[in-house]
Amino acid sequence: DIVMTQSPDSLAVSLGERATINCKSSQSLLSSSNNKNYLGWFQQKPGQPPKLLIYWASTRESGVPDRFSGSGSGTDFTLTISSLQAEDVAVYFCQQYYAIPTFGQGTKVEIQ
């Protein structure tokens, strides 16, 4: 199985400041056939199911604010919230779908 490791486990950021979450996979998620990284980012708020934010490592899902961005390739990926808003308080998960899907352990984002 592909192991996904996120850092940090939790993060406190002031409103309007940048939040950065890292995700590392135990093997490359880059497909040589289509040059795409099989990596997604999800946001989960209490009592709600996860919501897809980013797929193919950097493509924003429809309706997701542009303050959310994804970057990286191969085994190292980043989710950036450029200007944290109160409604962004949540747990964020990375997930690979290169093989049988696996998730990172989650990063809790709070307001400082």
Partner 1 sequence: EVQLVESGGGLVQPGGSLRLSCAASGFTFSSGYMSWVRQAPGKGLEWVANIKEEGNEKNYVESVKGRFTISRDNAKNSVYLQMNSLRDEDTAVYYCVRGWSLYYWGQGTLVTVSS
Give the footprint of partner 1 on this chain (CB under 8 A): 38, 40, 48-52, 55, 61, 93, 95, 97, 100-106
CB nearer to partner 1: pick between 8 and 101: 101
**How far apart (Å, rounded) are the C-alpha atoms in residues 45 and 99?**
26
CB of 10 to partner 1, least distance (A): 13
Q: For the beta carbon of residue 56, count every other beta carbon within 10 angstroms.
A: 14
Give the nearer residue to partner 1 in terms of CB position, either 70 or 104: 104
What is the closest distance, in whole angstroms, from the C-beta atom of residue 38 to partner 1 in the complex? 7
Q: Alpha-carbon torsion 19, 111, 5, 66, what sign?
A: negative
